[in-house]
């Protein structure tokens, strides 16, 4: 798991405001040569799964993260492109995770 801090700066007229958020990034090995990723907002515990081609492994990884993020909730599936080794788990994720929003891909 890697923690990443993202800082955004908003400039309005002559003033600027900065805000930052931290995210945990968890690689999840899938298939023989691919990875899915969980991106977890460390403040809200909301999570997105990137390219969850093997839903059982991704959902097991979500459960494993409950040790650190007790209220983790998978809210989004992000698909980098339509190839089945990236988007192949989208339908299953949508059927297994109530209310999850699937973005990208066609499968």
Contact 101, 79 (CB under 8 A): no
Sheet holding 46-50, edge to edge: 2-12, 15-30, 34-41, 46-50, 73-78, 101-103
**What's the predicted TM-score (pTM) here?**
0.82
List pLDDT tens digits, range 2-51: 677 676 666 767 666 667 788 899 999 999 999 999 999 999 999 999 99
List pLDDT tens digits, range 77-106: 999 888 888 888 999 999 999 999 999 876
């Amino acid at each position: 798991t890697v923690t990443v801090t993202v800082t955004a700066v908003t400039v309005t007229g002559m003033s600027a405001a900065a805000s930052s958020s931290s995210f945990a990034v968890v690689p999840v090995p899938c298939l023989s040569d691919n990875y899915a990723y969980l991106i977890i907002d460390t403040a809200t515990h909301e999570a997105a799964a990137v390219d969850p081609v093997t839903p059982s492994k991704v959902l097991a990884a979500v459960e494993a993260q409950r040790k650190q993020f007790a209220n983790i909730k998978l809210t989004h599936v992000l698909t980098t492109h339509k190839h089945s080794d990236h988007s192949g788990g989208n339908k299953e994720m949508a059927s297994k995770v109530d209310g999850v929003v699937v973005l990208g891909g066609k499968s």
